[in-house]
Amino acid sequence: MSQMNMVQSINQALAQEMERDQNVLVLGEDVGVDGGVFRVTEGLLQKFGEERVIDTPLSESGIVGTSIGMAVYGLKPVVEIQFSGFIYSAFEQLISHASRIRNRSRGRFTCPLVVRTPCSWVSRGLEHHEESTEALFIHTPGLKVVMPSNPYDAKGLLISSIRDPDPVIFFEPLRLYRAFKQEVPDEIYTIPIGEANVVKEGTDITLISYGAMMSSVLEADEILKGNNINSEVINLRTLSPLDKDTILKSVKKTGKCVVVHEAPLTCGLGAEISAIINEKALLNLEAPVIRITGFDTVVPLAKLENNYIPDVRRIVTETKNLMKF
């Protein structure tokens, strides 16, 4: 066990998987000499050399497209896209190819690559540097989407992603990179993809979130406790495939549900969760499922940033209101 922040735990996961499997390689802009602009790949070049830790030309489409070819031919590329807001030129490669190669070739070819990319709002970010676009990928059949919310989860989920037989988009919430440290085992461990984590059991209401918003939800939960509201808190960990069983089991118990994400409201993951609950647990519901999310606007820059991101108070207020329904 060591105290680690998320940068360190991801770095360790990469190093250990590269150690274990010669086929794992890391590529992207500034991942080598620089160790990544957030230092997530620091030291890997020195340990594994230029053949396995590759500074590429600036081309997201190029990085992902060539990684598809490598993945098809037995390698395990772990791509870094410097910010998720710059992934779009690789969108065609991901949507039209990575996600479909297994299907198109009827299993003859597969595409086990991982795309790691920082995401989510960060204070004083520039445009495109604070996007939450997970829904675009969740909506794509054939892609798995993972988003950790703490250093421990990040390591276990990344190792599982690297070992997964299919393409995984691994979102790393930027504001968590150095936000806090946590006990993380030094040895290799995995956290299964597709399983949510019930962080705290409760009876009154189910709070569902993921990524960086988990911290706000946990903080809100503490305040709600003081108001005699005993919530059950679910950390999704994997956004696609979604762990419907855990969600439904919880909502059937509590009868109420709040979904929190910072991504825009419309067609966000909250909409899908709400639909699943409506379809499978309608008669257990004591109140409508509500969503606390970012707005359907471009994320504003510094001057108005606090008005965009759902804050702890908003989660508490909305939850209390729902309890009165």
3-state helix, strand, coil in the chain (%, to 5): 40, 20, 40
* Distance between CA atoms of residues 175 and 309, nearest Å: 13
Nearer to ligand TPP, 61 or 284 (CB): 61
266, HSE (Cβ side, Cα atoms, 13 Å): 4
Nearer to another protein, 279 or 296 (CB): 296
Residue 275 binds to ligand TPP (criterion: CB under 6 A): no
Nearer to another protein, 179 or 198 (CB): 179
How many residues make contact with another protein (CB under 8 A)? Answer: 41
Q: Which of 29, 130, 164, 243 binds ligand TPP (CB under 6 A)?
A: 29
Residue whose C-alpha is closest to residue 87's, from 39, 45, 145: 145
* Distance between CA atoms of residues 228 and 37, nearest Å: 44
The least CB distance from residue 91 to ligand TPP, in Å, is: 12
Nearer to ligand TPP, 89 or 284 (CB): 89
* Distance between CA atoms of residues 208 and 214, nearest Å: 8
Instruction: Determine the residue with CB nearest ligand TPP.
Output: 86
Residue 86 binds to ligand TPP (criterion: CB under 6 A): yes
Residue 33 binds to another protein (criterion: CB under 8 A): yes
Beta bridge partners of 75: none
Nearer to ligand TPP, 37 or 271 (CB): 37
Nearer to another protein, 56 or 216 (CB): 56
Check if the beta carbon of residue 61 is closer than 8 Å to that of residue 95: no
Among this protein's residues, is 129 annotated catalytic?
Answer: yes
Name every residue whose Cβ is closer than 8 Å to that of residue 223 and which is 6 or more positions away in sequence.
312, 316
What residue has token string 């909502």?
Answer: 251
Query: Near another protein by CB under 8 A, which window of 175-183, 201-209, 232-240, 289-297?
Result: 289-297
**Dihedral angle sign, alpha carbons of residues 295, 296, 298, 304:** negative
Residue 320 binds to another protein (criterion: CB under 8 A): no
97, 128, 129, 261: which one is catalytic? 129
Query: Near another protein by CB under 8 A, which window of 33-41, 104-112, 161-169, 230-238?
Result: 33-41
Task: Centre a 10 Å sphere on the Cβ of residue 126 and count the other Cβ atoms it contains.
Answer: 11
Q: Which two tokens stand for residue 291?
A: 């969503």
Residue 300 binds to another protein (criterion: CB under 8 A): yes
Q: Which of 195, 274, 305, 320 binds another protein (CB under 8 A)?
A: 305
Q: Which of 19, 127, 245, 279 binds another protein (CB under 8 A)?
A: 127
Residue whose C-alpha is closest to residue 76's, from 6, 11, 118, 24: 24
* Distance between CA atoms of residues 209 and 207, nearest Å: 7
CA distances, 167 to each of 113, 226, 288 (Å)? 5, 43, 35
Q: Which of 96, 105, 266, 278 binds another protein (CB under 8 A)?
A: 266
Interface residues with ligand TPP (CB under 6 A) are: 29, 58, 60, 82, 86
Active site amino acids: 129
Interface residues with another protein (CB under 8 A) are: 29-30, 32-35, 37, 55-59, 61-62, 85-86, 88-89, 124-129, 265-266, 295-298, 300-305, 307-308, 313-314, 317
